[in-house]
């Protein structure tokens, strides 16, 4: 047993998905599965109950979670003691912010070589709690929060790209009016898990005097992209900064013609903290990367071969 296996185990226990845990840990799914299997063999008990659709913790896995968390916490403390005190900034975000964050971190480290910058993956609620508790210096979110002791630093806006199957009736165009999408089902995760996207889309439809037609919520073990590819009349939305991860075949990407589908990108910091030199430089670098990466054009060929008609 080693620390790496415990990190992989905790990632799978939190994501309940080997593929999402592998993305989070920047390794292949086969590698993370192999390490979890080795850990199970060493412990002599299965840590997860696996099926073709569901991954859940076994009784042994449930008992291991708090122990693994404690062990990795001790590892962090041991490294901190060995390194001695240094200036540090801790960023907490979701994996979708990794490209912007890594670019910004690289630039800030060039100017502040003695500054340690950590990037920690957390869900939305845990991100805000971490900043409130002082466990993180800045939380990257889409939207904003209103909580005593915290302030919102505007970093920019990000476009939502419209994604459909290449067989969808509007897929031949590079832009589309929202009214043209009203008859077709919109596939999104359940509203409680994606309140911001639901709100932005609903408000945009109100602006054009139409009502959005919601299809069935996307199941936890499905992805919006695959569901629209297999449902030629459906559509979904993707953050512009993540469209590079979309498949190159069978998918069409386009903009909303009037730029109504936009979300604010923000940094949440403790009140007054943004004025500190290292964090101030990081915020400015994040603003530049958000501006550069969050408003990308559709794939020139929609990932299909061929040129979409301008509109």
pTM score, two decimals? 0.63
- For residue 100, the model assigns a pLDDT of 79
**What CATH number labels 87-155+264-293?**
3.40.190.10
In this predicted model, which residue has the larger pLDDT, 242 or 67?
Answer: 67
The residues that bridge with 262 in the sheet, in sequence order, are 159
The lowest-confidence range among 3-17, 216-230, 256-270 is: 216-230
**What CATH number labels 3-83?**
1.10.10.10
Pick the CATH number of 157-262 from 3.40.50.300, 3.40.190.10, 3.50.20.10, 3.60.150.10: 3.40.190.10
Question: Quick one: which of 141, 147, 175, 151 has its CA closest to 263?
Answer: 141
- For residue 78, the model assigns a pLDDT of 77
In this predicted model, which residue has the larger pLDDT, 305 or 53?
Answer: 53
Query: Cα Rg for the chain, rounded, in angstroms?
Result: 21
Q: Region 278-282: what's the mean pLDDT?
A: 89
Q: Fold identical between 3-83 and 87-155+264-293?
A: no
- For residue 144, the model assigns a pLDDT of 85
The beta strand positions in the chain, using DSSP E, are 48-50, 55-57, 87-93, 115-121, 138-142, 150-165, 175-176, 235-239, 251-256, 262-270
Question: Quick one: which of 128, 129, 151 has its CA closest to 140?
Answer: 128
Kindly list the domain boundaries of the chain, sorted by start residue: 3-83, 87-155+264-293, 157-262
Mean pLDDT of the chain: 86
Q: Region 104-108: what's the mean pLDDT?
A: 89
Q: Angle at Cα 126 formed by Cα 81 and Cα 216, nearest 5°?
A: 145
Task: Indicate the pLDDT class of residue 159, thresholds 50, 70 and 90.
Answer: very high
Per-residue pLDDT tens over the stretch 23-59: 888 889 999 999 999 999 999 999 999 887 889 999 9
Task: Indicate the pLDDT class of residue 293, thresholds 50, 70 and 90.
Answer: low
């Amino acid at each position: 047993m080693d620390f790496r296996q415990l990190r992989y185990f905790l990632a799978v226990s939190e994501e309940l998905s080997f593929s999402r845990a592998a993305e989070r840990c920047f390794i292949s799914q086969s590698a993370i599965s192999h390490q979890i299997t080795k850990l199970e063999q060493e412990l002599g008990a299965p840590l997860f109950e696996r099926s073709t659709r569901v991954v859940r913790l076994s009784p042994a896995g449930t008992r291991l979670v708090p122990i693994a968390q404690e062990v990795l916490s001790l590892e962090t403390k041991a490294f901190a003691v060995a390194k001695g005190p240094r200036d540090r900034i801790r960023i907490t975000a979701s994996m979708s912010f990794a490209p912007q964050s890594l670019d910004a971190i690289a630039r800030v480290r060039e100017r502040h070589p003695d500054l340690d910058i950590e990037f920690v993956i957390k869900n939305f609620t845990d991100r805000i709690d971490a900043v409130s508790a002082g466990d993180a210096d800045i939380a990257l979110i889409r939207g904003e929060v209103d909580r005593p002791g915290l302030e919102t630093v505007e970093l920019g806006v990000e476009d939502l790209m419209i994604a459909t199957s290449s067989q969808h009736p509007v897929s031949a165009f590079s832009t589309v009016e929202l009214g043209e999408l009203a008859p077709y089902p919109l596939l999104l995760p359940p509203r409680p898990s994606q309140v911001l996207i639901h709100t932005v889309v609903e408000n945009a439809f109100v602006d054009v005097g139409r009502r959005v037609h919601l299809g069935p919520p996307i199941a936890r073990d499905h992805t919006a992209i695959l569901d629209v590819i297999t449902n030629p009349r459906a559509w979904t939305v993707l953050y512009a900064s993540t469209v590079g991860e979309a498949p190159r075949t069978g998918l069409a990407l386009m903009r909303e013609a009037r730029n109504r589908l936009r979300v604010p990108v923000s940094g949440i910091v403790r009140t007054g903290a943004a004025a500190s030199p290292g964090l101030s430089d990081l915020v400015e670098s994040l603003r530049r990367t958000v501006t550069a990466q969050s408003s990308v054009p559709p794939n020139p060929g929609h990932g299909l071969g061929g040129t979409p008609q301008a509109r």
